[in-house]
Structure 1
Amino acid sequence: MTMQKTPPPLDPKAPLVADARTMSRAPGTTKEWSADVPLTENLGLDMIAIPAGEVLSLRLRLTSVSEGILVTGTVSAPVRGECGRCLTAIEDTLEVDVTELYAFEGSTTAETTDEDEVMRLRDDLIDLEPLVRDALVFAMPNTPLCRPDCPGLCPDCGTPWDELPDDHGHEIVDPRWAQLKKLL
């Protein structure tokens, strides 16, 4: 038999903790929750990330349902990176819709699901950090592009195609014929 590790208590004043202690558990009760939270460390992938110091903007609605609190809304943040084709710097805003059920302690949902299947309220506090982190990182493209039709780099000289004239090209001479070219 494996013992489940009890997570540490949540701080109700932490920036990514929503307090549902004042909400009624009657289904349909809603509460608007907004926060602008500065990011303390980079969040993202190698080619695109939300840099430390940028502000995450959360605009959420907490709705009491029979089994817990349903969190819906949007999370947005500025992202920076480089194009996967031409290596041009990218600056954009990533906006992600989120929906997550946080099960009440002792609810049927909490009792019949594994720890990692459904998020759970802890002392009627909602830890939004995993939801926000996962939503933003999973929405980031593996290969970010400066624009969908980016032509990339010239394979011979490495210059971005956008910076080259339309007639740009490189003469490819078979090395076996190179000595003959010198005779001309």
Structure 2
Amino acid sequence: MREHAFTVTLAEPWGEGIVTYEKGAEIDLDVRLESVHEGILVSGTADAEYVGVCGRCLIDIARPVEVEFQELFAYPGEEETDFEVQDDHVDLETLVRDAAVLSLPFQPVCQPDCPGLDPKTGERLAVNTETEQVAPIDPRWSALQQITDQDGAEESRAAEKEES
């Protein structure tokens, strides 16, 4: 068993979505290599930072990510696998890239409760706090608004009677 820790600089960007690992980004790897009967078992973690834009309000974001991975690199001729030992070496690039890219968020946000953009003005709702934000009512449910307005009016009349 051997353990290694090293840093790799990306020669090309990884990822295709609204967040990626940029070209030149550094990935810190902690890897453990274990000899087993079928081949070499590789396990470890990769620490990196992805960059992109918030999926709701479109501001730039950068977040750290830690990815765990584990894969068996089989000896040549043992069995058909995607990962094989080549001349007593294992190539970790595909393994680490697949694990890192799959860990990227599908809908990244700048904060968990990011309200996004105002549909009318296009301004960020998190910044524009001058006006009270009222959620638009779906036209299919607008008839129910009349019922809640009536209930609210009845409650306020009942409260006025109690005060008198």
For the aligned pair, the TM-score class normalised by the smaller chain equals 0.7 to 0.9
Match of 2:69 among 61, 83, 98: 98
Richer in helix (by share): 2
Counterpart residue identity of residue 32, structure 1: E
CA distance in 1, matches of 2:3, 2:92: 14
Who is 1:177 aligned against?
A: none
Instruction: Point out 4+ residue stretches in structure 1 off by more than 2 angstroms.
Output: none
Determine whether 1:44 maps to 2:15. Answer: yes
User: CA RMSD of the aligned region, Å?
Assistant: 1.7
CA distance in 1, matches of 2:22, 2:132: 39
Counterpart residue identity of residue 151, structure 1: P
1:122-161 equivalence runs, <5 A? 122-161=86-125
The structure whose Rg is larger is 2
CA distance in 1, matches of 2:108, 2:133: 26
Determine whether 1:167 maps to 2:138. Answer: no
Counterpart residue identity of residue 34, structure 1: A
For residue 168 of structure 1, report the CA deviation from its aligned partner: 4.3
Q: 1:91 and 1:67, CA in 2 relative to 1: closer, same or farther beyond 3 A?
A: same
What TM-score does the superposition give when structure 1 sets the normalisation length? 0.68
Structure 2: stretches of 5+ with no match in the other structure = 135-164
Structure 1: stretches of 5+ with no match in the other structure = 1-29, 170-184
Counterpart residue identity of residue 71, structure 1: V
Determine whether 1:55 maps to 2:26. Answer: yes
